[in-house]
Amino acid sequence: MEKQIINSIKKLYGWSDKAEITLLGNGLINHTWKVEDASGSFVLQRINTNIFKHPNWIDDNITLLGNYLAVNNPSYLFTYPIKATNNSTLIKIDDYYYRSFNYINNVCTIDVVETAQQAYEAAFQFGKFTAVSNEFNAEKLHITLPNFHHLALRFNQLTEAMNHGNVARIAAVKEDIAFLQSQKNIVEQWELFIAHPDAKKRVTHHDTKISNVLFDNNNKGVCVIDLDTIMPGYFISDVGDMMRTYLSPVSEEESNFNNIEVRKEFLKAIYDGYTSSMEFVLTNFELDNFFLSGEVLIYMQALRFLTDYINDDVYYGKKYEEHNLVRARNQIKLLQLYQAII
């Protein structure tokens, strides 16, 4: 950050000139720093407005939900932004938006799920987040990322890419396209699910990677963080994203597909952890469709990666020529393995 911006931020938060600001974590979306000041330790974050077009909507959502929880579940640890000296929880300097949080001591984040117990703890915390917010009217929340987990839209985007995308790439991935088209029944199952009266829209996190959970020194989950994607949604989004990112020991970047596997004990851990905290919240219909979650989110990501490859990598970008094709085939393999065990 430029020195002038740093000085403005320090002034707005009442931090001293000697406050130290250092980069924190390796987040891909927002820029995050740790602030050490005589008045305490804080987290400073700059919102990525290329992704989140309306930062004030994020601030509104967190404020609405935070106020609700302060009254109805005051013991729940909610990462609520602190107010600047202008009484705002969101500050704008030049074209950038910033917010700050109190730094929570004696906790850490995990980048890769290494044990089934970690998967259980994370699933429990994401379920608890939705459970403590269950009586809150989720429709009051802004949609910060429109159609983020809209499976039918993602299927249609692949169809559109086949009509207007890179002709040579389309020809090279005919088998991949054919497989994803053959799985359209997942779209149909998803549409039947969301149309059912017992499929409830609730406060949903929508980005349940393991690094969005704080763990204590005993490897116990403490709370969820990174609430920019909280929106009205279905439990499928949160559970499916956990299945997509926790079940295999390797990530979507893995190019040796022989290393992809579905660890059954991790699947059980996700089920046990999430249903433990959501025991009195989920309907019987939702429980009956619990494992549909994994199919929906893995399939959705395969669609998105292959669509981007056909469209010349305009959304995700690439580090090498077939990067998004590798990612798509990675997710296709994960989907096939997942379907074989459910």
Q: Tally the domains of the chain.
A: 2
- Asked if the structure places residue 110 within a domain, the reply is no
* pLDDT tens, per residue, the chain with 342 residues: 678 899 999 999 999 999 999 988 655 557 889 999 999 999 999 998 888 889 999 999 999 999 999 999 999 999 989 999 999 999 999 889 999 999 999 999 999 999 999 999 999 999 999 999 999 999 999 999 999 999 999 999 999 999 999 999 999 999 999 999 999 999 999 999 999 999 999 999 999 999 999 999 999 999 999 999 999 999 999 999 999 999 999 999 999 999 999 999 999 999 999 999 999 999 999 999 999 999 999 999 999 999 999 999 998 889 999 999 999 999 999 999 999 999
pLDDT of residue 27: 54
- Over its C-alpha atoms, the chain yields an Rg (Å, rounded) of 21
Residue 63 and residue 134 in one domain: no
- Asked if the structure places residue 291 within a domain, the reply is yes
**Are 93 and 8 a contacting pair, CB within 8 Å?**
yes
Residue 298 and residue 195 in one domain: yes
Residue 124 and residue 70 in one domain: no
- Asked if the structure places residue 137 within a domain, the reply is yes
Answer with the one of 55, 78, 105 that is the final residue of a domain: 105
Q: Rounded to whole angstroms, how far apart are CA atoms 61 and 227?
A: 9
Residue 129 and residue 152 in one domain: yes
- Asked if the structure places residue 111 within a domain, the reply is no
Residue range of the domain that includes 84 = 3-105
Residue 224 and residue 272 in one domain: yes
Which residues make Cβ contacts (< 8 Å) with residue 184, sequence separation at least 6? 155
- Asked if the structure places residue 307 within a domain, the reply is yes
Residue 134 and residue 15 in one domain: no
Residue 143 and residue 76 in one domain: no
- Asked if the structure places residue 161 within a domain, the reply is yes
Residue 95 and residue 224 in one domain: no
What CATH number did the domain enclosing 217 receive?
3.90.1200.10
What CATH number did the domain enclosing 58 receive?
3.30.200.20
Answer with the one of 46, 71, 105 that is the final residue of a domain: 105
- Asked if the structure places residue 319 within a domain, the reply is yes
- Asked if the structure places residue 60 within a domain, the reply is yes
Query: pTM score, two decimals?
Result: 0.93
Residue 15 and residue 51 in one domain: yes
Residue 93 and residue 143 in one domain: no
pLDDT of residue 1: 66
pLDDT of residue 285: 98
Residue 199 and residue 306 in one domain: yes
Three-class secondary structure assignment of the chain: CCHHHHHHHHHHHCCCCCCEEEECCCCCCCEEEEEEECCEEEEEEECCCCCCCCHHHHHHHHHHHHHHHHHHCCCCCCCCCCCCCCCCCCEEECCEEEEEEECCCCEECCCCCCCHHHHHHHHHHHHHHHHHCCCCCHHHCCCCCCCCCCHHHHHHHHHHHHHHCCHHHHHHCHHHHHHHHHCHHHHHHHHHHHHCCCCCCEEECCCCCHHHEEEECCCCEEEECCHHHCEEECHHHHHHHHHHHHCCCCCCCCCCHHHCCCCHHHHHHHHHHHHHHCCCCCCHHHHHCCCHHHHHHHHHHHHHHHHHHHCCCCCCCCCCCCHHHHHHHHHHHHHHHHHHHC
Residue 154 and residue 67 in one domain: no
Answer with the one of 105, 134, 160 that is the final residue of a domain: 105
